[in-house]
Amino acid sequence: MTSRLFEPLTLRGTTFPNRIWLAPMCQYSAVDGVPNDWHLVHLGARASGGFGLVIAEASAVVPEGRISAQDTGIWSDEQAVAWRRIVDFVHERGTLAGIQLAHAGRKASTHGPWSGGTGSLPVPDGGWPTVAPSDSAFPGYRAPVAMTTAQIAELPGAFAAAATRADAAGFDVVELHAAHGYLLHEFLSPLSNERTDEYGGSLENRARLLIEVVDAVRAAWPQDKALFVRFSATDWVDGGLTVAEVTEVAKDLAAHGVDLVDVSTGGNAPAAIPIGPGYQVPAARAVREGSGLPVGAVGLITTAHQAEQILVDGAADVVLLARAALRDPMWPLRAAHELGVDPDRAPWPKQYTRGAWR
Ligand SMILES: Cc1cc2nc3c(=O)[nH]c(=O)nc-3n(C[C@H](O)[C@H](O)[C@H](O)COP(=O)(O)O)c2cc1C
């Protein structure tokens, strides 16, 4: 049997071997932003498990853009060299490698998730002052300092330098993190952007920084390599960012050289989110239909048949998995087996082909 999940997808000069991709997931396991053996095995295991693309976690473009002190980064050459070893292993498995470029804005400088603390890490304990479009805090976090236009002007260059390092590390894809209440999302959302200058107010103004970052990254990132943006398509709050607004921005981004939009939701404000199987898929479909760009769907996609149906229905071009892949790094191979995909059409490593048969 054939399966949409195992059909290749070409974006620019890059052909993805299948449409089951690993979503970016912070591992909170780096020292000084440098990825290590944990990241090699985390991403390497999932490459061996048949994911067509693995996207490395939100990696900070400047040190103060880390969510926690344990985040990975891509602001230094030492980090790029460490990423290279991981990317090479992923490539040997026949999987492509992406990296999510990030700045955490007002949600930076937090406790690590298993450190016992929650919310902001105080500066005397190793935290750092946070910056954001405005000085309003994410509930429960320390208040950020509103960025000056001079500080904003440094961001496109920081993202572009990170993209240059990502290229040197061999990555095939760069994804800009404009979701989950981090800096680029904070600019997009009226809930966190109260600016009265050219970076606040109208949708055009709120999207200005994102477009400047896209332009800078596109100029630094090779023309044959794909550029993605991850959005939170809705804040799930009245008065917040909406699917219609994000669709408008996505339409613009197509003209600025973005190749795919990864559609997530939420994270910029406490909200009642109707969480359930595939709960973000309708947002992905809306952005796909309204922008004309290829999209990825993510969020509680857990079974092979569910994932296959999302593609068959035309709601998305690819699916991204996070927590299901933490439970099962071999998820794509198991899905191929369950769907009865011809072993020659599924990404079995030669060492594991016996698993393709009963
Ligand atoms: C441990 C963990 C870390 C995550 N880190 C990131 C991240 O670095 N960047 C990001 O955009 N989303 C991150 N997410 C969100 C996932 O990429 C994904 O969008 C979300 O978990 C929903 O998909 P799922 O239902 O398949 O888990 C993380 C999720 C988990 C569980």
Convert the pLDDT of each residue in 218-266 to its tens digit: 999 999 999 999 999 999 999 999 999 999 999 999 999 999 999 999 9
User: How far is ligand 1, taken at its centre, from the CA of residue 264, in Å?
Assistant: 9
Nearest alpha carbon to residue 71 among 112, 22, 99? 112
Residues 6+ away with beta carbon under 8 Å from 5:
18, 19, 20, 304, 307, 308, 311, 319, 332, 335, 339
Whether residue 2 has pLDDT greater than 90? no
> What confidence score (pLDDT) does residue 358 get?
66
| C-alpha 177: how far from chain center | 5
The residues assigned a catalytic role are: 182
Domain annotation covers residue 280: no
The answer to whether residue 157 is domain-embedded is: yes
Between the CA of 298 and the centroid of ligand 1 the distance, in Å, is 9
Average pLDDT, the chain: 97
Tens-digit pLDDT profile for residues 3-33: 999 999 999 999 999 999 999 999 999 999 9
The answer to whether residue 294 is domain-embedded is no
CATH code, domain carrying 326: 3.20.20.70
81 domain residue, yes or no? yes
Q: What's the gap in Å between 326 CA and the centre of ligand 1?
A: 10
Judge whether 236 and 189 are in contact, CB under 8 Å: no
Q: What span, in angstroms and rounded, lies between the C-alpha atoms of 42 and 39?
A: 5
Residue located nearest, by CA, to atom 2 of ligand 1: 25
Supply 290's token pair: 């309204």
> Rounded to whole angstroms, how far apart are CA atoms 61 and 158?
6
Q: What is the CA radius of gyration of the chain?
A: 19
Is 262 a domain residue?
Answer: no
- The alpha carbon of residue 239 and the mean position of all alpha carbons in its chain are separated, in whole angstroms, by 25
- How many structural domains does the chain have? 1
Which of 176, 180, 323 gets mutated to test ligand 1 (max ligand atoms within 8 A of its CB)? 323
* Torsional sign, CA 108, 162, 55, 46: negative
Please indicate, yes or no, if residue 313 is contained in any of the structural domains. no
The pTM assigned to this predicted structure is: 0.98
Q: For atom 3 of ligand 1, which residue has the closest CA?
A: 25
* Full residue range of the structural domain in which residue 208 is found: 4-189+204-231+321-356
In a domain, 279, yes or no: no
- Neighbour-count burial of 37, counting CB atoms closer than 10 A to its CB (0-12 exposed, 13-18 middle, 19+ buried): exposed
